[in-house]
Chains A and B, each alone.
Chain A
Amino acid sequence: SQQGEEDPQALSIQEGENATMNCSYKTSINNLQWYRQNSGRGLVHLILIRSNEREKHSGRLRVTLDTSKKSSSLLITASRAADTASYFCATTLTGGGNKLTFGTGTQLKVEL
């Protein structure tokens, strides 16, 4: 079963615009990670935020975490065509061992 739900399911923007994706999850977590997947390929890790952190930056990526609302957001600034991919949030659950539980994903399309 999926732990998280991403919103929106699909997003289409113009190159240079910012893209924001949201993730909601159901149960208490240790950390939350975001991954990107290009069509037909494996997933690539983007960023990890721990449950005691509220915001984290990596290059053009900004991730926020609100544990009281059980939600996270991923912001990609100044998007490029190469950012076109599916983006997934994934959580490690409190008491859930070491496995990552993935959400349903947001399909991002960045048009020239």
Chain B
Amino acid sequence: DTGVSQDPRHKITKRGQNVTFRCDPISEHNRLYWYRQTLGQGPEFLTYFQNEAQLEKSRLLSDRFSAERPKGSFSTLEIQRTEQGDSAMYLCASSIRGGQGVSPLHFGNGTRLTVT
């Protein structure tokens, strides 16, 4: 168990540019989540996958955001035409479907995005 890996750890970009983040979940985990966290707040749900299917997407996720999980393994989160309000920590988490659908999330260390 090497844990959830996120790349890059930090990204600084200029407003209007596109950025893409990658998440590698724990290998046997079939669920993968993306959250966004701003300073002093708890993580806010963005989207989640079960295997390769994107099952839920937050209303917070504008059409500039897209996530994929090809083949049910790693996932990418792309933000197009970045805005200063997109500056945040983007957290990825994975879990395995447990009894009654309840199991803890394992988080990566996040990608910190700064939009200048």
Contact = CB atoms under 8 A, between A and B. Distances in A.
Q: What bracket does the count of chain B residues touching chain A fall in? A: 20 to 34
Given A42-B110, A43-B107, A104 B41 contact: yes
Contact of A99 (B4, B33, B112): B33
Contacts of A99: 33, 45, 48, 56
Interface residues of A, number: 27
Nearest to A104: B42
A101 B43 CA distance: 8
Contacts of B107: 35, 42-44
A1 B33 CA distance: 17
Nearest to A38: B109
Interface of B: 4, 31, 33, 35, 40-45, 48, 50, 55-56, 91, 93, 100-102, 104-110, 112
14 contacts: A2-B41, A31-B102, A35-B105, A40-B109, A40-B112, A42-B107, A42-B108, A45-B106, A92-B102, A98-B31, A99-B56, A100-B33, A100-B45, A102-B35
Given A88-B43, A97-B56, 20 more contacts: A2-B41, A31-B102, A35-B107, A41-B109, A42-B4, A42-B110, A43-B43, A43-B105, A44-B107, A45-B106, A50-B102, A88-B42, A90-B42, A92-B102, A98-B48, A98-B101, A100-B33, A100-B105, A105-B41, A105-B42
